[in-house]
Structure 1
Amino acid sequence: MGDLNILKLCVGADCVEDLTDWHRAHAHFWTAGTTEHITRMWPKRSEELLDGGSLYWVIKGSIQARQRILGLAERRGADGIARCCLVLDAAVIRTEPAARRPFQGWRYLTAAESPRDLPKTRAQDDALPAALAQALAEIGLH
Protein backbone atom coordinates (compact mmCIF):
# COMPACT_ATOMS: atom_id res chain seq x y z
CA MET A 1 0.00 0.00 0.00
CA GLY A 2 1.25 3.47 -0.84
CA ASP A 3 2.12 6.28 1.56
CA LEU A 4 -0.58 8.56 0.14
CA ASN A 5 -4.22 7.77 -0.59
CA ILE A 6 -7.45 9.57 -1.41
CA LEU A 7 -10.55 9.64 0.77
CA LYS A 8 -13.95 10.10 -0.91
CA LEU A 9 -17.60 9.86 0.11
CA CYS A 10 -19.45 7.05 -1.64
CA VAL A 11 -22.63 9.04 -2.24
CA GLY A 12 -25.82 7.01 -2.54
CA ALA A 13 -24.38 3.81 -1.06
CA ASP A 14 -25.67 2.32 2.18
CA CYS A 15 -23.15 -0.54 2.21
CA VAL A 16 -20.13 -1.92 0.33
CA GLU A 17 -22.44 -4.15 -1.72
CA ASP A 18 -24.14 -1.03 -3.15
CA LEU A 19 -20.72 0.09 -4.44
CA THR A 20 -19.86 -3.31 -5.94
CA ASP A 21 -23.35 -3.63 -7.47
CA TRP A 22 -22.92 -0.21 -9.13
CA HIS A 23 -19.53 -1.29 -10.47
CA ARG A 24 -21.01 -4.48 -11.95
CA ALA A 25 -23.82 -2.51 -13.58
CA HIS A 26 -21.34 -0.13 -15.25
CA ALA A 27 -18.48 -2.54 -15.99
CA HIS A 28 -19.18 -2.43 -19.73
CA PHE A 29 -17.90 1.18 -19.80
CA TRP A 30 -14.42 0.35 -18.48
CA THR A 31 -11.38 -1.73 -19.34
CA ALA A 32 -11.68 -5.24 -17.90
CA GLY A 33 -10.41 -5.45 -14.32
CA THR A 34 -10.87 -1.72 -13.68
CA THR A 35 -13.48 0.76 -12.56
CA GLU A 36 -13.37 4.52 -12.91
CA HIS A 37 -14.34 7.44 -10.74
CA ILE A 38 -14.50 10.96 -12.16
CA THR A 39 -13.67 13.93 -9.98
CA ARG A 40 -13.37 17.62 -10.82
CA MET A 41 -9.91 18.32 -9.44
CA TRP A 42 -6.66 16.71 -10.57
CA PRO A 43 -4.52 15.66 -7.54
CA LYS A 44 -1.40 17.81 -7.23
CA ARG A 45 0.36 14.88 -5.56
CA SER A 46 -0.45 12.43 -8.36
CA GLU A 47 2.99 10.79 -8.43
CA GLU A 48 2.65 9.82 -4.77
CA LEU A 49 -0.85 8.44 -5.36
CA LEU A 50 0.35 6.36 -8.29
CA ASP A 51 3.04 4.78 -6.11
CA GLY A 52 0.64 2.23 -4.61
CA GLY A 53 -2.08 4.56 -3.34
CA SER A 54 -5.76 3.67 -2.95
CA LEU A 55 -9.11 5.38 -3.00
CA TYR A 56 -10.75 4.86 0.40
CA TRP A 57 -14.54 4.94 0.37
CA VAL A 58 -16.58 6.54 3.18
CA ILE A 59 -19.96 4.82 3.32
CA LYS A 60 -22.58 6.01 5.82
CA GLY A 61 -20.08 7.95 7.94
CA SER A 62 -17.38 5.29 8.07
CA ILE A 63 -14.44 4.27 5.88
CA GLN A 64 -15.40 0.72 4.85
CA ALA A 65 -13.48 -0.17 1.69
CA ARG A 66 -10.69 0.80 -0.66
CA GLN A 67 -9.63 0.31 -4.27
CA ARG A 68 -6.06 0.56 -5.55
CA ILE A 69 -5.41 3.54 -7.86
CA LEU A 70 -3.97 2.25 -11.13
CA GLY A 71 -3.78 5.51 -13.04
CA LEU A 72 -5.14 8.96 -13.72
CA ALA A 73 -6.66 10.04 -17.03
CA GLU A 74 -8.35 13.10 -18.42
CA ARG A 75 -12.06 12.80 -19.23
CA ARG A 76 -14.13 15.56 -20.83
CA GLY A 77 -17.76 15.84 -19.88
CA ALA A 78 -20.58 16.78 -22.23
CA ASP A 79 -19.91 20.37 -21.10
CA GLY A 80 -16.37 20.17 -22.54
CA ILE A 81 -14.73 20.60 -19.13
CA ALA A 82 -11.69 18.40 -18.44
CA ARG A 83 -11.93 16.29 -15.29
CA CYS A 84 -9.70 13.75 -13.54
CA CYS A 85 -10.57 10.10 -13.92
CA LEU A 86 -9.26 7.85 -11.16
CA VAL A 87 -8.67 4.49 -12.84
CA LEU A 88 -9.12 1.91 -10.08
CA ASP A 89 -8.51 -1.79 -9.66
CA ALA A 90 -11.94 -3.45 -9.82
CA ALA A 91 -11.22 -5.36 -6.59
CA VAL A 92 -12.94 -3.69 -3.65
CA ILE A 93 -11.04 -4.44 -0.44
CA ARG A 94 -12.95 -4.12 2.81
CA THR A 95 -11.25 -2.20 5.59
CA GLU A 96 -11.72 -1.88 9.29
CA PRO A 97 -14.38 0.78 9.81
CA ALA A 98 -13.12 4.26 10.68
CA ALA A 99 -15.54 7.11 11.40
CA ARG A 100 -15.42 10.17 9.15
CA ARG A 101 -17.57 13.27 9.10
CA PRO A 102 -19.08 14.38 5.77
CA PHE A 103 -16.95 16.62 3.54
CA GLN A 104 -17.00 18.01 0.01
CA GLY A 105 -14.86 16.58 -2.79
CA TRP A 106 -11.99 14.36 -1.71
CA ARG A 107 -9.14 14.51 0.78
CA TYR A 108 -5.63 13.11 0.93
CA LEU A 109 -5.23 10.30 3.44
CA THR A 110 -1.78 9.25 4.64
CA ALA A 111 -0.88 5.61 5.20
CA ALA A 112 -0.69 6.29 8.95
CA GLU A 113 -4.30 7.57 8.93
CA SER A 114 -5.62 4.76 6.72
CA PRO A 115 -7.55 1.90 8.31
CA ARG A 116 -6.17 -1.61 7.94
CA ASP A 117 -7.64 -4.08 5.48
CA LEU A 118 -9.95 -6.65 7.00
CA PRO A 119 -8.50 -10.16 7.00
CA LYS A 120 -9.79 -12.16 4.02
CA THR A 121 -11.67 -14.40 6.44
CA ARG A 122 -13.74 -11.39 7.53
CA ALA A 123 -14.18 -9.81 4.09
CA GLN A 124 -17.68 -11.21 3.71
CA ASP A 125 -18.83 -10.57 7.29
CA ASP A 126 -22.20 -8.93 7.57
CA ALA A 127 -21.64 -5.25 8.17
CA LEU A 128 -22.63 -3.79 11.50
CA PRO A 129 -25.47 -1.29 11.34
CA ALA A 130 -23.92 2.02 10.24
CA ALA A 131 -24.76 3.89 13.46
CA LEU A 132 -23.24 1.14 15.62
CA ALA A 133 -20.09 0.87 13.47
CA GLN A 134 -19.62 4.64 13.63
CA ALA A 135 -20.15 4.78 17.40
CA LEU A 136 -17.65 1.97 17.96
CA ALA A 137 -15.12 3.57 15.61
CA GLU A 138 -15.44 6.92 17.39
CA ILE A 139 -14.46 5.33 20.71
CA GLY A 140 -11.76 3.19 19.12
CA LEU A 141 -13.41 -0.21 19.55
CA HIS A 142 -14.07 -1.13 15.93
Structure 2
Amino acid sequence: MVKLCVGAETVEDLADWQTRQMQRLDNPVHHTRMSPKRAGEMLDGGSIYWVIKRAIRVRQRIIDIRAVADETGRDMCELVFDPNLVRTYAQAKRPFQGWRYLKPTDAPRDLKTGEAALDIPPDLDAALKQAGVW
Protein backbone atom coordinates (compact mmCIF):
# COMPACT_ATOMS: atom_id res chain seq x y z
CA MET A 1 0.00 0.00 0.00
CA VAL A 2 1.27 3.50 -0.75
CA LYS A 3 0.03 6.64 1.04
CA LEU A 4 0.93 10.31 1.15
CA CYS A 5 2.42 11.29 4.50
CA VAL A 6 0.59 14.61 4.80
CA GLY A 7 2.29 17.15 7.03
CA ALA A 8 5.69 15.47 7.10
CA GLU A 9 8.63 17.12 5.42
CA THR A 10 11.12 14.37 6.32
CA VAL A 11 11.22 10.78 7.52
CA GLU A 12 12.23 12.20 10.90
CA ASP A 13 8.94 14.16 11.03
CA LEU A 14 7.05 10.88 10.54
CA ALA A 15 9.17 9.20 13.22
CA ASP A 16 8.54 12.06 15.68
CA TRP A 17 4.78 11.97 15.08
CA GLN A 18 4.67 8.22 15.61
CA THR A 19 6.84 8.46 18.74
CA ARG A 20 4.29 10.89 20.19
CA GLN A 21 1.49 8.43 19.28
CA MET A 22 3.29 5.60 21.07
CA GLN A 23 3.28 7.58 24.32
CA ARG A 24 -0.38 6.56 24.54
CA LEU A 25 -0.56 3.55 22.19
CA ASP A 26 1.42 0.33 21.82
CA ASN A 27 2.03 0.83 18.09
CA PRO A 28 1.67 3.67 15.59
CA VAL A 29 -1.67 3.77 13.77
CA HIS A 30 -3.33 5.58 10.91
CA HIS A 31 -7.07 6.04 10.45
CA THR A 32 -8.75 5.98 7.08
CA ARG A 33 -12.40 5.98 6.00
CA MET A 34 -12.20 2.98 3.73
CA SER A 35 -11.15 -0.49 4.77
CA PRO A 36 -8.83 -2.21 2.27
CA LYS A 37 -10.48 -5.01 0.30
CA ARG A 38 -7.13 -6.81 0.10
CA ALA A 39 -6.54 -6.74 3.87
CA GLY A 40 -5.53 -10.41 3.95
CA GLU A 41 -2.68 -9.78 1.52
CA MET A 42 -1.56 -6.72 3.46
CA LEU A 43 -1.47 -8.62 6.74
CA ASP A 44 0.62 -11.36 5.15
CA GLY A 45 3.88 -9.39 5.30
CA GLY A 46 2.59 -6.24 3.59
CA SER A 47 3.84 -2.73 4.22
CA ILE A 48 2.69 0.84 3.85
CA TYR A 49 5.05 2.90 1.73
CA TRP A 50 5.02 6.54 2.83
CA VAL A 51 5.31 9.31 0.21
CA ILE A 52 7.18 12.31 1.64
CA LYS A 53 8.04 15.31 -0.54
CA ARG A 54 6.77 13.62 -3.73
CA ALA A 55 8.73 10.39 -3.30
CA ILE A 56 8.37 7.08 -1.51
CA ARG A 57 11.11 7.26 1.13
CA VAL A 58 10.20 4.82 3.89
CA ARG A 59 8.00 1.84 4.61
CA GLN A 60 6.44 0.19 7.64
CA ARG A 61 5.10 -3.32 8.04
CA ILE A 62 1.33 -3.48 8.58
CA ILE A 63 0.64 -5.69 11.59
CA ASP A 64 -3.12 -5.27 12.01
CA ILE A 65 -6.19 -3.77 10.38
CA ARG A 66 -9.08 -2.96 12.70
CA ALA A 67 -12.60 -1.59 12.37
CA VAL A 68 -13.04 1.37 14.74
CA ALA A 69 -15.40 4.33 15.13
CA ASP A 70 -14.37 7.98 15.10
CA GLU A 71 -15.50 10.50 17.73
CA THR A 72 -18.85 10.92 15.95
CA GLY A 73 -19.48 7.18 15.72
CA ARG A 74 -18.68 6.90 12.00
CA ASP A 75 -17.01 3.64 10.93
CA MET A 76 -13.29 3.95 10.23
CA CYS A 77 -10.39 1.64 9.50
CA GLU A 78 -7.34 1.65 11.75
CA LEU A 79 -4.08 0.51 10.21
CA VAL A 80 -1.60 -0.62 12.86
CA PHE A 81 2.11 -0.51 12.05
CA ASP A 82 5.30 -2.03 13.32
CA PRO A 83 7.13 0.95 14.85
CA ASN A 84 10.27 0.19 12.80
CA LEU A 85 10.65 2.61 9.87
CA VAL A 86 12.60 1.06 6.98
CA ARG A 87 14.12 3.60 4.62
CA THR A 88 13.85 2.86 0.92
CA TYR A 89 15.47 4.26 -2.18
CA ALA A 90 13.59 7.41 -3.10
CA GLN A 91 11.02 6.69 -5.82
CA ALA A 92 9.12 9.60 -7.36
CA LYS A 93 5.37 9.55 -6.84
CA ARG A 94 2.83 12.06 -8.09
CA PRO A 95 0.22 13.40 -5.66
CA PHE A 96 -2.95 11.34 -5.23
CA GLN A 97 -5.79 11.07 -2.74
CA GLY A 98 -6.29 8.25 -0.27
CA TRP A 99 -4.06 5.22 -0.65
CA ARG A 100 -3.19 2.89 -3.48
CA TYR A 101 -2.12 -0.71 -3.71
CA LEU A 102 1.50 -1.13 -4.72
CA LYS A 103 2.64 -4.21 -6.61
CA PRO A 104 5.68 -5.80 -4.94
CA THR A 105 7.55 -5.49 -8.24
CA ASP A 106 6.91 -1.71 -8.25
CA ALA A 107 8.07 -1.12 -4.68
CA PRO A 108 11.42 0.57 -4.11
CA ARG A 109 14.02 -1.62 -2.46
CA ASP A 110 15.09 -1.04 1.11
CA LEU A 111 18.27 0.86 1.78
CA LYS A 112 20.90 -1.35 3.39
CA THR A 113 22.62 -0.33 6.59
CA GLY A 114 24.98 2.52 5.78
CA GLU A 115 23.25 3.36 2.48
CA ALA A 116 21.16 6.20 3.92
CA ALA A 117 23.49 8.71 2.30
CA LEU A 118 22.28 7.40 -1.08
CA ASP A 119 18.76 8.70 -0.45
CA ILE A 120 19.05 11.17 -3.34
CA PRO A 121 16.30 13.25 -4.92
CA PRO A 122 14.01 11.12 -7.12
CA ASP A 123 14.63 13.17 -10.28
CA LEU A 124 18.41 12.73 -9.94
CA ASP A 125 17.93 9.02 -9.23
CA ALA A 126 15.82 8.65 -12.40
CA ALA A 127 18.39 10.56 -14.48
CA LEU A 128 21.24 8.38 -13.20
CA LYS A 129 19.28 5.21 -13.94
CA GLN A 130 18.39 6.45 -17.44
CA ALA A 131 22.05 7.25 -18.10
CA GLY A 132 23.01 3.73 -16.98
CA VAL A 133 25.19 5.04 -14.20
CA TRP A 134 23.00 3.85 -11.31
TM-score normalized by the length of structure 2: 0.90
Count residues with an aligned counterpart: 130
Q: Which runs of 5+ in 2 are unaligned?
A: none
Moved over 6 A (4+): none
Give the aligned residue type for 2:18.
H
Alignment of 1:23 onto 2:18: yes
> Sequence identity, in percent?
45
Measured on the aligned residues, the alpha-carbon RMSD in Å equals 1.6
CA distance in 2, matches of 1:80, 1:7: 27
Contact 1:99/1:137 (<8 A) preserved: no
Q: CA deviation at 1:106?
A: 0.2
1:115 equivalent in structure 2: 108
CA distance in 1, matches of 2:106, 2:54: 16
Alignment of 1:136 onto 2:129: no
Q: Larger radius of gyration, structure 1 or 2?
A: 2
2:4 equivalent in structure 1: 9
Give the aligned residue type for 1:46.
A
Call closer, same or farther: CA 1:127–1:137 in 2, change over 3 Å.
closer
Contact 2:89/2:119 (<8 A) preserved: no
Which structure is higher in RCO with an 8 Å CA cutoff and minimum separation 6? 1
CA distance in 1, matches of 2:29, 2:24: 9
Q: CA deviation at 1:82?
A: 1.1
**Structure (1/2) with the larger strand percentage:** 1
Q: CA deviation at 1:126?
A: 8.1
Give the aligned residue type for 1:108.
Y
Contact 1:7/1:57 (<8 A) preserved: yes
For residues 56-112 of structure 1, what are the alpha-carbon distances to aligned partners after superposition, in whole Å with 9 as ceiling and x for unaligned? 000000000000000101121111111111110000000000000000000000100
Alignment of 1:88 onto 2:81: yes
1:101 equivalent in structure 2: 94
Q: 2:42 aligns with which of 32, 49, 74?
A: 49
Q: Which runs of 5+ in 1 are unaligned?
A: 1-5
Q: 1:74 aligns with which of 52, 60, 67?
A: 67
